[in-house]
Amino acid sequence: MRTEATPRGRGAAGYALMLTLFLIGVSLVVMASAVKWTSTETVLTSRNNVYNTTVAGAEAATERVLAQMQRDFTYQSVSSDLNTYSVLLPAQDGWPMQFEFSDGAGNVGRTRVLSRGPSIIANLNSEFAGLYGLVSPYQVISRARPLSRPYNLAATVSQEFQLARIPIFQFAIFYALDLEINPGAPMTVTGKVHGNKDIYTAPPASLTYADDVTAVGSIYNNRHTNDPTGGGKTAPVYQAEHMNKVSSLTLPVGTNNSPQAVQQILDVPPWDENPNSLLGKQRFYNNADLIISNSPSGQIIVKSGLWNNFANVPPDGSSGGNPYYTFVTNATFYDYREDKTIQATQIDVERMLSWLTNTTVKGGAALNGTARAQMNHELNSIYAIDNRPGSSSTLPAVRVVNGITLPQDGLTVATPRPLYVKGHFNLNNGNTTAGLTNTANTKPAALIGDAITVLSPSWQDSFNSSTALGSRTAANTTVNAAFLAGIVESARVGNSRYYSGGVENFPRFLENWSTKSLTYNGSMVAMFPSRLATNFWVSPGSYYNPPARRWAFDLNFLNANRLPPMTPQVRKLVRGQWRVLASSGG
């Protein structure tokens, strides 16, 4: 079979050429489109980068204002002239892009700072949800426009925030020092916990945190390196948030907010200090309704507070021509932890109630009425100081007794000395049944001092250095009050280590509480190291045996109307809404 090739015609060759040219054309179009798309994407990416950097620049301007206002709020006071903050702008040294800043309203070189209303008691935002404070709301707005850039992309940022004064007794536990809590028996902490340093929690038995736990430092599920107690440990149970590295909560006493500086709020102010200064406003001496003191020889002196120009209060009793106060006496007893005889100025609350209703010339009814008229509350706070010098064997202190029923508007007792409370304190209509946690009928109350020791109703002042622990048997006791005091921190001395005793021993004990209970409803605040009652905690069995701890946070303190008199307020800038606003000129 013979086959012959058929030559391709001109028509076929022309078709192939046209097809090739068409494909080349399509490729060129695709390539041009790709180049154009790439160029557009490059432009969009560049514009986006410029815009995001501009947003960051505008935010930096708002942060510059927030930083200064926060510093002023924490260490002194916010200026009433907000123009002071409006002219603050970030330094742009070393920035990869330079900006022109304005306030979003056409004013160049300024940031807009707005007050968003008067200070009110309100719930807090952010990590402080569940707390309230005296809140001053603000808004800061800054507009940034990039300079020497092909794209004129301005961005405006707004930040809203609160400057909040937070009553400190809203925390079940608040420590300005390292916080340690290692109870030997199961315990549940029912309120918020905050530490301005580290928190160490590794109890041998179960420990449950029912509310938020926050620390400026870290939260460790182990014991402090200076704690020698050792033994087994159980990981705590966190039923809510627990957060490290939060910002600190401090009292506004000046540029130094160390615990040692804060401790000055307990002291009598120097004669030339302005009571309206930052520290002066925080001192309990300047805020108390009554001032109780004595001479170095022990003679009692009572005055009204700063509110009444420290006017003398006449003694309401007399014996053999010698005047005295029926509700203030001297007491002497022995402290087995400090190994010293205590010389105490003693305040009898039951007798004070009688004095407050005594309408005679030397009674307290008239002064109580004056307080009600000037301060809108009856006498409800005492600053007490025992001025006896003390020695290697004696320690001046203050003691509160017979406090089952408190004055109408509650009672806070503050002292720079160690503070002792004997017997039941602030009960529900005088009901002394052990273990009651219903505080519906209690009064707002706080006990504040260098250290706080609870003595049961069975305590006898006749106990001396030779009285054995087994002979100092406690009775069931109930105390309903916030505690604010110092502690002796865990420490290493030479080759020896000492445990602070932890929160479980924040209130001190001197009796054999075995089989007995301490029912406590309140708030425990450790703001500073103790200066006077400084002996280290020692394990049970030496000077005390611990009670069954029936402890709870007093929910009354979450009601601003039921806070203890003279409750300190820590300060905090609480952030709110952050957003980018539509820029339109300016």
Do 206 and 143 fall within a single domain? no
| 427 occurs within a structural domain | no
The lowest-confidence range among 37-51, 160-174, 485-499 is 37-51
pLDDT at 563: 97
pLDDT at 437: 82
Q: What is the pTM of this model?
A: 0.87
Q: Which residues contact 7 (CB under 8 A, 6 or more apart)?
A: none
pLDDT in tens, 18-67: 666 666 666 665 565 555 555 556 666 777 888 898 999 999 999 999 99
More confident residue, 422 or 94: 422
| 157 occurs within a structural domain | yes
Work out the pLDDT band at 1, boundaries 50, 70, 90: very low
Share of the chain above pLDDT 70, in %: 91
Share of the chain above pLDDT 90, in %: 74
Work out the pLDDT band at 153, boundaries 50, 70, 90: confident
Domain end marker among 270, 286, 302? 286
C-alpha distances in angstroms, 504 versus 41, 186, 527? Answer: 64, 11, 16
CA distance 433 to 533: 31
pLDDT at 583: 60
What average pLDDT does the chain have? 90
CA distance 344 to 331: 5
CA-closest candidate to residue 378, choices 443, 430, 333: 443
What's the mean pLDDT in 523-551?
A: 97
What's the mean pLDDT in 442-462?
A: 98
Domain end marker among 189, 223, 249? 249
Do 136 and 188 fall within a single domain? no
Do 205 and 160 fall within a single domain? no
Do 111 and 195 fall within a single domain? no
- Which amino acid type is present at position 107? N
Do 220 and 149 fall within a single domain? no
> How many domains would you assign to the chain?
3
Strand stretches in 337-439, DSSP E: 340-348, 381-384, 394-403, 411-414, 419-425
pLDDT at 572: 87
3-class DSSP assignment, residue 422: strand
pLDDT at 298: 86
Do 58 and 84 fall within a single domain? yes
Work out the pLDDT band at 14, boundaries 50, 70, 90: low
- 585 pLDDT above the threshold of 50: no
Burial grade of 69 (CB within 10 A; 0-12, 13-18, 19 or more): buried
CA-closest candidate to residue 345, choices 418, 289, 410: 418
Do 74 and 179 fall within a single domain? no
pLDDT at 377: 97
- Which amino acid type is present at position 279? L
pLDDT at 3: 45
Work out the pLDDT band at 380, boundaries 50, 70, 90: very high
- 484 pLDDT above the threshold of 70: yes
The lowest-confidence range among 103-107, 324-328, 331-335, 516-520 is 103-107
Work out the pLDDT band at 400, boundaries 50, 70, 90: very high
| 224 occurs within a structural domain | yes
pLDDT at 321: 84
pLDDT at 582: 76
pLDDT in tens, 430-448: 777 777 888 999 999 999 9
Please, what's the b/e burial string for 286-320 (b: 16 or more CB within 10 A of its CB; e: otherwise)? bbbbbbbbbeeeeebbbbbbbebeeeebebbeeee
Burial grade of 359 (CB within 10 A; 0-12, 13-18, 19 or more): exposed
- Which amino acid type is present at position 520? Y
Do 245 and 270 fall within a single domain? no
Do 162 and 105 fall within a single domain? yes
Number of Cβ within a 10 Å radius of residue 385: 21
| 92 occurs within a structural domain | yes
| 103 occurs within a structural domain | yes
| 329 occurs within a structural domain | no
- The tokens describing 76, both together, are 């002194």
- The tokens describing 132, both together, are 């309230």
Do 53 and 154 fall within a single domain? yes
The lowest-confidence range among 140-149, 462-471, 529-538 is 140-149
- Asked if residues 135 and 121 have their Cβ atoms less than 8 Å apart, the reply is yes
pLDDT at 12: 62
pLDDT in tens, 197-256: 999 999 998 999 999 999 999 999 999 999 998 777 889 999 999 999 998 898 888 778
Do 83 and 67 fall within a single domain? yes
pLDDT at 429: 72
CA-closest candidate to residue 231, choices 204, 205, 201, 207: 204
Domain end marker among 195, 221, 249? 249
| 309 occurs within a structural domain | no
Work out the pLDDT band at 96, boundaries 50, 70, 90: confident
Domain containing 147: what range? 48-166+572-581
| 340 occurs within a structural domain | no
pLDDT at 33: 56
Do 209 and 232 fall within a single domain? yes
More confident residue, 382 or 27: 382
